[in-house]
């Protein structure tokens, strides 16, 4: 996982695919000036995950591509949201309060944290 934000990551992928900003915007059906602001971090990513789909298609990424999964995670985080794949796992969601308490410096049962880490690793391990 990188320390980049959504704008940095999508720019990196766009440039790696050799798409100009205007060509990408035409393929994704977005306004170049607004998209440019998104890449520069002046506008947040689209508010709904489904609105990222044209970006995925324009970049030629599959839904299972690790680059796409990272981009979707960064989009959620830049919007101040927990990534959808985490929220869709009830086991992980049930343990998030313990994670938040730990991050805020409150005592948390180590077994609970270990269970959370194991659940997250299962969710994000490559599909076999």
Output the pLDDT for position 87.
84
Note whether 71 and 106 are same-domain residues: no
Q: Which domain holds residue 112?
A: 89-124
Whether 1 is covered by a domain: the verdict is no
Whether 95 is covered by a domain: the verdict is yes
Output the pLDDT for position 124.
63
Output the pLDDT for position 2.
47
Output the pLDDT for position 84.
81
The CA-to-CA distance between both ends of the chain, in Å, stands at: 20
Whether 15 is covered by a domain: the verdict is yes
pLDDT in tens, 74-119: 999 898 888 888 888 888 888 788 778 877 887 777 787 777 778 7
Share of the chain above pLDDT 90, in %: 48
Please identify, among 82, 98, 114, the residue that sits at the C-terminal boundary of a domain: 82
Alpha carbon distance 57, 19 (integer Å):
13
Question: What secondary structure does DSSP assign to the chain, as a single string?
Answer: --S--HHHHHHHHHHHTT--HHHHHHHHT--HHHHHHHHTTSSPPPSSGGGGHHHHHHHT--TT-HHHHHHHHHHHHHTT---HHHHT-HHHHHHHHHHHHHHTT----HHHHHHHHHHHHHHHSPP-
Note whether 37 and 52 are same-domain residues: yes
pLDDT in tens, 25-71: 999 999 999 999 999 999 999 888 789 999 999 999 999 899 998 99
Note whether 78 and 93 are same-domain residues: no
Whether 77 is covered by a domain: the verdict is yes
Output the pLDDT for position 125.
65
């Amino acid at each position: 996982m990188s320390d980049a934000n959504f704008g940095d990551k999508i720019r990196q992928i766009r440039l790696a695919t050799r798409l100009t900003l205007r060509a990408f915007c035409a393929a994704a059906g977005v306004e170049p000036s607004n998209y440019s602001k998104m890449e520069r971090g002046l506008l947040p990513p689209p508010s709904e995950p489904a609105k990222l789909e044209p970006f995925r298609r324009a970049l030629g990424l599959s839904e299972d591509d690790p680059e796409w999964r990272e981009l979707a995670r960064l989009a959620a985080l830049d919007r101040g949201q927990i990534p959808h794949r985490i929220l869709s796992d009830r086991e992980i969601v049930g343990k998030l309060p313990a994670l938040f308490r730990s991050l805020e410096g409150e005592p948390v049962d180590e077994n609970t944290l270990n269970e959370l880490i194991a659940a997250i690793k299962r969710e994000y391990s490559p599909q076999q």
